[in-house]
A and B are shown apart, each in its own frame.
Chain A
C-alpha cells in the first residue's frame, strides 16, 4: 500500500501521461477547438471533438507540460477564466449536438493572477459548476494526475467521477493545507495522510465512483493497460447513461451531489 504522500509525488511526476496523451490514445481523430469567443484562448485547457468507436465525443482537459518549455506554454496547467469559459462553450456545444462529454482533470489549481481576478476567475468557476449540473448529456470526469481545488471542480461536475489509482483530488495542495492548519508547510506529508485525497479514501466518502488501476508495482504507470481499462469503462458507462431519459440523468446527477453532507 502506497502512502498518500507517495501518490502525491506520483500524481505530479513530470513524465506521467497528460491530457493530450489520453486524448490521443483513448479516442481517434481529435479536432481541437479554440477560444472562449470573448477574450482569448487559454492553453492550460484543451478542448475539442474526438471519436470513440464511431461516436463523436466532446473532450476537455487541463493540460500540464512535461518540461519547462511546455509548462510555460501551458501555464503549468493552471487555467485562467477564459479557459473555463472555453470549456463551458464547448460543453454547451456538446449539449446542442447531443454529444457525451469526457473531461480530464490535472491541475495544481486555477491561476491566481491579477488578470484572472480582473476577468472573474470566481465567476467563471461558479458558472461552470452550475451549468455542468444541468447539461442534458452524459458527463464523465476523470482525474488523471493532480486535481486541486475549485480549479479542478470547474470541469469536474458530472455523472461519474473517476480517479486513476495514483491520482489525487484535494481541496488545496497538502503544502497549502499544512501551512494553514498546522502553521508549518514542511508538514505536507502528514497533511496528505490526513486530508483523504486518495482515490480509495474519496470512494469511501462517496465522492468518487470508480477507480482505474494503474496495473503496476513500480511507481510508473502502465499506460497501455490503463488506456485499455479506461476506454472500456468510458464506452460501457456512456452506453449505460445514454439509456436514461434526460430528466432522470439530471435527477441522478443532482442527487449525487445533494447527498454529500
Chain B
C-alpha cells in the first residue's frame, strides 16, 4: 500500500522537475505562474529574481542563477569541480542518465561549491540544484559538500549551504545513505572549530538532506512557502490515511514549530546573509580572557 503512494509521489516529482526544467530553459517568452495563474513575461520574472511579480511566489532556481544572486559579482571560484558521479551499485542506466542530464543542464552534479564574497565577506558557498536528479545526494554530492566544509575549516571561513533536495540518491544505495554520516561528521568538526554555518532551505528540502547537514546550521533560514520535511507528504498521507493540510511542512509551519530561525524573501536573502556574516566576524578585545 505504501508502495503505490511512493510511486505517486515519484510521478509528481517527475512532473515538477519537467515543469521546472521547462521554466528554466525559457521556451517562449511567457510563463504562467503556478501559484496565482498570472501570465508573466519571462524576462521580467528573471529580473525579479525568479519571483512572481504578481503574487510573490518564489519559483525554483538553478544553482547558476542562485550563485549570481548571492555571490558578489565575479568573486565565485568553484572548488571540488573534479568530483564526479560514481556508480557503486553498477545500476543499469544510471551513468547514461547522468550523462544526458549533464548535457541538458550544463551541470556536473547536483551541487556546486566555491569560495566567494557576499556583501564583501569572504565565505564558502555550496548551492544545490533541483534540476539534477532532484538535487539528490549521492557520493559526489556528499563528497563535494564535505570538501566545502573542510575548506571552510582549513581557511577559517564561514559556510553557507543552499539546500534543495529530494533526499539521498536511490541509484547509489547505501553509499548515498553514508553521505549523511559523512557530511554531518564534517559539520560537527566545523562546529567544534567555532566556525559559522548558515543553512538555507529552499523548495523542496526533504529526506536524507533534511536529516543531515540541512538541519544542522547555527542559523537556519528558509525561503517562503518551501516544502521542508523528512518524509514526503504522500507517504505521510498514506500512513495516517488522511489528507494533510496545505500549510503542512511549509516554511511557515516549520517556523511556527521552532525548526527554522527566519523566513527570508529572495530579494532580502543576500543582504540578510551579508549582515549575519558581519555579525560573526571576530571583534578584537571583546572576548573574555
A residues apposed to B, CB below 8 Å: 110-114, 116-123, 125-127, 129-131, 133-134, 149-150, 153-154, 156-157, 169-172, 175-181, 183, 185, 194-197, 202, 205, 207, 253-254, 257-258, 260-261
Whether the pair A114, B240 counts as a contact (CB closer than 8 A) is yes
In the complex, given contacts A110-B231, A121-B230, A194-B89, what are 18 additional A-B residue pairs having Cβ atoms less than 8 angstroms apart? A112-B231, A113-B231, A114-B248, A116-B230, A123-B259, A129-B184, A130-B184, A134-B185, A149-B177, A150-B168, A150-B207, A156-B181, A157-B184, A179-B4, A180-B6, A195-B89, A260-B178, A260-B182
Number of B residues near A (Cβ < 8 Å) is 62
Which of A121, A134, A260, A261 contacts B231, CB < 8 Å? A121
CB of B211 within 8 A of CB of A122, answer: yes
Q: Which of B20-28, B61-69, B187-195, B278-286 contacts A (4 or more CB under 8 A)?
A: B187-195
Could you say which residues of chain A place their CB within 8 Å of the CB of B10?
Answer: 179-180, 183
Residue with the greatest number of chain B CB neighbours at <10 A, chosen from A113, A123, A171: A171
Which of B83, B168, B192, B211 is packed against the most chain A CB atoms within 10 Å? Answer: B211
Minimal beta-carbon separation of B47 from chain A (angstroms)? 34
Judge whether A257 and B178 touch: CB under 8 Å: yes
Is B120 part of the contact surface with A, judged by Cβ < 8 Å?
no
Q: A175 — nearest CB in chain B belongs to which residue?
A: B3
User: Is B257 interfacial (CB 8 A cutoff)?
Assistant: yes
- Report whether B188 and A122 are in contact in the complex, using a CB–CB cutoff of 8 Å: no
What is the chain B residue whose CB lies nearest that of A149?
B177
Main SS class of interface, A? helix
- Taking the nearest CB of chain A, how far is it from the CB of B17, in angstroms? 14
Docked-complex contact A261 and B143, CB < 8 angstroms: yes
Instruction: Convert B207-223 into 0s and 1s, putting 1 for each residue whose CB lies closer than 8 angstroms to a CB of A.
Output: 11011111110000000
Contact of A134 among B6, B174, B179, B192 (CB under 8 A): B192
Q: Cβ of A118: which chain B residues have Cβ within 8 Å of it?
A: 257
Across-interface contacts of B232 in A (CB, < 8 A): 112
Q: Which of B6, B192, B212, B248 sits near A126, CB closer than 8 Å?
A: B212
Interface: B176 (CB within 8 A): yes
When the two chains form the complex, which single residue of A150, A154, A181, A196 contacts B88, counting CB atoms closer than 8 Å?
A: A196
Q: Which residues of chain B are within 8 angstroms of A153 by Cβ–Cβ distance? A: 177, 180-181
B2 within 8 A of A: yes
The residue in chain A whose Cβ has the minimal distance to the Cβ of B168 is A171
Contacts of B259 in A (CB 8 A): 120, 123
Contacts of A112 in B (CB 8 A): 230-232, 235-236, 239
14 contacts between A and B (CB under 8 A): A111-B239, A121-B229, A126-B211, A133-B188, A134-B192, A150-B207, A171-B170, A179-B4, A183-B10, A196-B89, A202-B174, A258-B146, A260-B178, A261-B142
Residues of A close to B146: CB separation below 8 A: 258
**Bound: A134/B186 CA distance, A:** 10
A177, chain B: closest CB distance, angstroms:
6
For residue B184, which residues in chain A have a CB less than 8 angstroms away from its CB?
126, 129-130, 133, 157
Listed from nearest, the 5 A-B pairs whose CB atoms lie closest are: A112-B231, A122-B210, A185-B3, A122-B230, A133-B185
Does the CB pair A176–B3 fall under 8 Å? yes
**Are B213 and A180 within 8 A (Cβ)?**
no
Given contacts A134-B188, A176-B3, A194-B91, contact A126 B177 (CB under 8 A): no
Q: How far is the CA of A261 from the CA of B150 in the complex (A)?
A: 15
Decide yes or no whether B7 CB sits under 8 A from chain A: yes
